[in-house]
Structure 1
Amino acid sequence: MNPSRSLVFSILIIVASCCSINAQRRFERLPAPRDPQFYEPRNKLEDFEGRAETLLIKGRHWVGTVRGQNGAGSARVEATEIRDPIGPTTVSGVVITIEGGATGEIRSLIDYDEIDALLKAMDTALKAGDGISRLSHFEVRYRTKGDFEIMVFKQIENNAIAAAIEGGFFERSRLYLTIDDLTKLRWMISQAKDQLNEIK
């Protein structure tokens, strides 16, 4: 075999194998990580929280705390109001802070105009029972724009109905609750709304 042919043939084999290796792995590649500031705010409270070079006045009122099952973490509910004194705009809502777990504190911001829909969803989820699905197990979920999520589900291991809440965007944190604790959390969110109504 001619040495130049052998060299060309070797180069072709190397190029072909590199292309096929890259082609096989291309679908597995994830996009480059982005800065959290790249993402647009999902609600009015997040928009205000993310403002730079702006004087903001924040007011908070602690409503209550509910503990997770077996003492694993807690969820704190606060009514909040953020004001821009220069451009006279005000936003209000509820802050739910989930503490515990490897992620530390995770805050979920819920705009005032989202509270009623959340409370209605919680009412529906709290009524969930075996008749909600024709299958043996079920799960009822509701998520706000700010990624606060409630869940009521039938556990596989003991067929008991349980609840959980979850929050976070990049890192999520889940807190398991009893149905009674989810009812308390619903009451606290309602109390936070009442507190905001008093200051309007």
Structure 2
Amino acid sequence: MSDLSIPTYGSADSGSVSPIDFEPLAGSVIVLAYDNVGEVGGVSIEARELRNDRGGVSRGALAGVKQDEYRSNNSFIKAEELPELLKAFSALLAVNSNPTKFSNFEVKYKTHEDFEIIAFNSRNGISYVVRSGTAQVFLQRQHLLRIVEMLNVVWKKIESLQ
């Protein structure tokens, strides 16, 4: 697998139903299907599909960030967001020097449900943070590459369900 395989979002209709629409109501049935894809540096990725008995379907990735035993958070990344998120990973991984005329910089990307990736300058060169809500972990380049691989696994799973 190449380092930065970015899917194109084409015919994959993962359903535009938000996971919030899957809050269990009295007398309703919810089906949650998932595959644990992997974990690296405190970031876990799952492929997920939620179905309700009204015909709603939502597919995507659940990204968990565990900062420590007291602080962790999950963000659901809808299938429609995955291609742009993977492009953002590519853009952040391409940063190899300060792109500004200032001493310090941050390059950020954030999904609708608060999954955020950040590249910034540090004494050791370019550093990275992955954040979900208030939980964050500091990662190295190889960790981000592994997250890209895991998100591509999720994308291929979603594509196979069409």
Report the TM range for the smaller structure's normalisation.
0.7 to 0.9
Counterparts of 1:111 and 1:64, CA distance in 2: 18
1:82 equivalent to 2:40? Answer no
Q: Which AA in structure 2 matches 1:82?
A: L
**Aligned AA (1:96):** A
CA distance in 2 between partners of 1:175 and 1:47 (Å): 29
- More strand as a share of residues: 2
1:135 is displaced (CA, Å) by 2.1
TM-score, normalising length: structure 2: 0.82
Q: Is the alpha carbon distance of 1:97 and 1:131 closer, same or farther for their aligned partners in structure 2, counting shifts above 3 Å?
A: closer
Q: Does 1:61 align with 2:45?
A: no
CA 1:102–1:65 in structure 2 vs 1: closer, same or farther (change >3 Å)?
Answer: closer
In percent, how many aligned pairs have the same letter? 24
Q: Which has the larger radius of gyration?
A: 1
User: Whole-Å Cα distance in 2 between the matches of residues 190 and 47 of structure 1?
Assistant: 26
Report how far residue 87 of structure 1 moved: 1.4
Q: 1:46 aligned to 2:20?
A: yes
1:135 pairs, out of 79, 95, 102, with 102
Q: CA deviation at 1:88?
A: 1.5
Q: Which runs of 5+ in 1 are unaligned?
A: 1-42, 68-73
Alpha-carbon contact 1:45-1:110 (below 8 Å) kept: no
Alignment of 1:24-173 (within 5 A): 44-48=18-22, 50-53=23-26, 54-67=28-41, 74-84=42-52, 86-101=53-68, 103-155=70-122, 158-168=123-133, 172-173=134-135
Provide the C-alpha distance between the structure 2 equivalents of 1:131 and 1:164, rounded to a whole number of angstroms. 16
* Match 2:149 to one of 180, 187, 190: 187
Which AA in structure 2 matches 1:149? E
| CA-atom RMSD in angstroms | 1.6
Contact 1:130 1:136 in 2 (8 A): no
The one-letter amino acid paired with 1:189 is L
Q: How many residues align?
A: 145
Counting helix residues as a fraction of each chain, which structure ranks higher?
A: 1
